[in-house]
Amino acid sequence: MNKKNYQNVSETCQKYGAQLVAVSKTRTTEQILEMYQVGQKVFGENRVQELLEKHDKLPSDIQWHLIGHLQSNKVKYIAPFVSMIHSVDSLNLLEEINKQANKNARIIDCLLQFHIAEETTKYGLDIDEASTLLKSDSFAKLENINIVGVMGMATFTDNEKQIAQEFKNLKSIFAQLKNDFFSEKETFKEISMGMSSDFEIALKEGSTMVRVGSLIF
């Protein structure tokens, strides 16, 4: 791990009252353990298989966040232990998470992923799709998931104004959903945005959770 960068990022997050999710994809269990030993307890992985192997080998008080695209047929493997899923972008997936959480007698915290970048991708909702989902009768029936906020990724660019604008957009999506669907729910409070290259911009724009990997490892 890069101790100096880890401490810098960690202190910057503390200053803003945000949580650091240490993105440990492609890192070895030894590298993760080293960071765990200096106090990091929240780690993010983007692939289910890798997450399972690391969960097996590492201390049980690590909180594992799934941050990458999740296929419905793989939910069952992580449902017993995953502490948050950042990448929910369909009702279908949410229903499967609910079903598997129920089987494990758990309630799983989820974030709705939004497409805020300029690049085209298959993943992420827009505000209309999210509203439709949250208004639906099917959603109202789900008792084993808890939507705790939103997640997004900015365009891969060095144009800081553009990145800041995309983060502002995600924050306003959060505010609109809070107002329309979650005004009574104190647990709807997370805005997961910011990675190695843009976490400082994200924190300035109101991120509550940054997902940083390459900079700190």
Ligand X SMILES: *Cc1c(COP(=O)(O)O)cnc(C)c1O
Using CB under 6 A as the criterion, which residues of the chain lie in contact with ligand X when the complex forms? 23, 25, 46, 67-68, 195-197, 211-215
Minimum separation from the CB atom of position 197 to ligand X (A):
6
Minimum separation from the CB atom of position 87 to ligand X (A):
7
Q: For residue 208, which amino acid is it?
A: T
Minimum separation from the CB atom of position 187 to ligand X (A):
22
Residue (of 97, 159, 153, 98) closest to 125 by Cα position? 153
Minimum separation from the CB atom of position 118 to ligand X (A):
17
**CA 169, chain centre distance (Å):** 17
Minimum separation from the CB atom of position 199 to ligand X (A):
8
Q: How far apart are CA 202 and CA 184, in angstroms?
A: 26
Q: How far apart are CA 119 and CA 26, in angstroms?
A: 24
**CA 203, chain centre distance (Å):** 15
**Nearer CB in complex with ligand X: 142/192:** 192
Minimum separation from the CB atom of position 206 to ligand X (A):
17
CB 162 within 8 A of CB 205: no
Q: What tokens were used for 158?
A: 């060095």
Q: What tokens were used for 71?
A: 């296929």
116: CB partners within 8 A, 6+ apart: 124, 152, 153, 154, 166, 167, 169, 170, 173
**Nearer CB in complex with ligand X: 93/142:** 93
In the bound complex, which residue of the shown chain has the CB atom lying closest to ligand X? 213
7: CB partners within 8 A, 6+ apart: none
11: CB partners within 8 A, 6+ apart: none
